[in-house]
Chain A
Amino acid sequence: MEIFGKSLPALLSQLLLGLVNGSFYAILSLGLAVIFGLLNVINFAHGALFMLGAVLTWMGMNYLGLGYWWMLFLAPLTVGLFGVVIERTMLRWLYKLDHLYGLLLTLGLTLLIEGLLRSIYGVSGLNYDTPELLEGASNLGFMMLPNYRVWVVVASITVCMATWFVIEKTRLGAYLRAGTENPRLVEAFGINVPLMVTLTYGFGVALAAFAGVLAAPVIQVSPLMGQNLIIVVFAVVVIGGMGSILGSILTGLGLGIVEGFTKVFYPEASSTVVFVIMVIVLLTRPAGLFGKEK
């Protein structure tokens, strides 16, 4: 069976790979949006913390002999705590200043984290295996479906939807949204906004680390794995706009799929297609697909 001269299995497997990448874009841009909403900080370190999640998992498996499932829980927790420390000791002094300082501080942290890990592990990849439970592939008749990739997509979408549910439908989420709109008024109602801000940052970066753990068996783990990713995620954020959570998720997944298809039809453009889409969106809908112009 062929579509536009490409075999269907090849097309479908690229579609799945695109969905895998798209789920990482979705989780990362979601975290960026949640953090930006409350802290007004663009977290450049998001890519580095994504990488940290993957490297921590590798460390936990190799040094402590912990399994994948343990690390899926422990790595985001550790990175989340690390995020809490970053927010408490550094970021909070910058809220009253121009946005750019938050970006520059997190850029510095990125260089610091990546540099430190690079001086220990070098730039070559560290690999770890797919957990036994998810090894192999299912035969669907028309294509082989690698189980692990399906798990990545399902887990990511579940986490994204859970985040959406918490923020849009629960009381805690209502506080959060109110804090985004007007933190001083919310504080006047007796809600501990600084604590909420700290936890939000911790949660946002824990999401990044979660994506990192998921990514590790699919992409090669290396101290530089977050570098190019974060810039693509920035483009995703510009395309989607940070106004809406569902918007972030949809944009991330959609762009992943587009990227996957580009790999089939015109591989040379696969690394630039997201940026080209960003240019088109800026020309036609400057506020982003789901954004509101202030």
Chain B
Amino acid sequence: MNYKNIGYALLLLALLVAPFAGAYPVFIMKLMCFALFASAFNLLLGYTGLLSFGHAAFLGGAAYVAGHAIKVWQLTPEVGLLLGTLGAAGMGWVFGVLAIRRQGIYFAMITLALAQMVFFLCLQAPMTGGEDGLQGVPRGKLFGLLSLQDDLTMYYVALAIVVAAFLLIVRIIHSPFGQVLKAIKENEPRSISLGYDTQRFKLLAFVLSAALAGLAGSLKTLVLGFATLSDVHWTASGQVVLMTLVGGMGTLSGPILGSALVIVLENKIGEMGGWLAKLSGVQWFSSLGESVTIVTGLIFVVCVLAFRRGVMGELIAWLGNRKKS
């Protein structure tokens, strides 16, 4: 067994026993949702070379669809998840068709603008609850049988869904289809001259990524019981870019690690600030909790300038070098 498989086995084992080791299940579930979100995003950025700046629309949009289906239409959770995912896939198709018409940097700008439009629609539509968001979404019973009210039951269902989705991503990347995506990332004109209809491949990759991001968003609604505007805001799109960048884009494990790092940082930064203030005596640090954006911005700048491969990217490169020597 190599390092990689040992790593995944350990991670899975840790996730299986985490609720019994004193971890708060809801927090871990939130981490898992974001890990799935970042992995879905990485399928596009890391493996196809397309920077979408509109993934918040899929995360947040699907969250509203799933929440509405479960709360208002009183459907069972699995149907809600399915509808959320399909909704995101449909939205992804529309975004993809429009954005793929332009290359490179325009692609990012178009997806960002479209996502902003979705944000305004969510803000104004009567079904989303405006600034308050959609609240009090019940977890219900899975297939009408298994009650998800209990955090522990919900935890293992969520874990199963996220692991399955992750395996699907692994399968996609290692399939012939995934190889074509990589070829497009490396050299698009050459892929075209080899006879691949790159537009179609890019569109399909975009829809897949959007659908999986939608699954993450729907699951998040189910777990937390609400869908909010902050998930549709462009900062969520920026956040997922950061997760992927910090973890290492184009690596399978990078987004998982990156999302964990970013979420933990955002949750714990207040405490860290208090600790720094005590240590250095600079009062300003204690206000760090309110200004997560400063730290996020700083990490962005440092990562882009000095740390472009991300944590897992550096680790893989280091292991590769060691093997050679």
Interface residues of A (CB under 8 A from B): 36, 42, 90, 93-94, 97, 99-101, 103-105, 107-116, 118-119, 227-228, 231-232, 234-235, 237-238, 268, 271-272, 275-276, 278-279, 282-283, 286-287, 294
Question: Mask for B17-54, Cβ within 8 A of A = 1, else 0?
Answer: 00000000000000000000000000001000001000
- Chain A residues positioned under 8 Å from B116 (CB to CB): 228, 231-232, 235, 275
Among B106, B293, B304, contact of A104 (Cβ-Cβ < 8 Å) = B304
Q: Among residues 116 to 150 in chain B, which have CB atoms less than 8 Å away from a CB atom of chain A?
A: 116-117, 120-121, 124
What are 28 A-B pairs with beta-carbon distances under 8 A? Answer: A42-B108, A99-B104, A100-B51, A101-B304, A103-B108, A104-B300, A105-B301, A108-B297, A108-B304, A111-B293, A111-B294, A112-B293, A112-B297, A112-B301, A115-B291, A115-B297, A118-B291, A118-B293, A119-B290, A231-B116, A232-B113, A238-B102, A238-B109, A275-B114, A275-B116, A275-B117, A279-B98, A286-B101
Q: Does B308 contact A (CB under 8 A)?
A: yes
Q: Which B residues touch A115, using CB under 8 A?
A: 291-297
Contact at B113–A275, with CB atoms within 8 Å?
yes
Contact B304 A105 (CB under 8 A): yes
Bound Cα distance A97, B309 (Å): 13
Query: Is there an interface contact between A271 and B300, defined as CB atoms closer than 8 Å?
Result: no
What is the chain B residue whose CB lies nearest that of A286? B101
* Structural contact, B124 and A268, CB atoms closer than 8 A: yes
- Assuming the contacts A115-B293, A119-B287, asked whether A103 and B299 have C-beta atoms less than 8 A apart, the reply is no
Residues from chain B with a CB closer than 8 A to the CB of A99 are 104-105
Which residues of B does A touch, CB under 8 Å? 45, 51, 98, 101-106, 108-110, 112-114, 116-117, 120-121, 124, 234, 238, 241, 245, 287, 290-301, 303-305, 308
Contact check, B112 vs A231: say whether CB atoms are below 8 A apart.
yes
In the complex, given contacts A100-B51, A109-B297, A235-B116, what are 10 additional A-B residue pairs having Cβ atoms less than 8 angstroms apart?
Answer: A36-B105, A107-B241, A108-B298, A112-B301, A115-B295, A116-B291, A231-B234, A235-B109, A268-B124, A275-B116
Q: Are B110 and A278 in contact (CB under 8 A)?
A: yes
How far, in angstroms, from A275 to B54 measured CA to CA in the complex? 13
Q: How far is the CA of A94 from the CA of B105 in the complex (A)?
A: 14
A282 touches B297 (CB 8 A): no
Find the B residue at minimum CB distance from A32.
B109
Q: Looking across the interface, which residue of chain B has its beta carbon closest to that of A283?
A: B98
Report whether A93 and B300 are in contact in the complex, using a CB–CB cutoff of 8 Å: no
Of the residues A105, A227, A276, A279, contact of B300 by C-beta under 8 Å: A105
For the complex, what is the distance from the CA of A268 to the CA of B101, rounded to whole Å? 28
B290 touches A111 (CB 8 A): no
Nearest CB in chain A: distance from B226 CB, A: 23
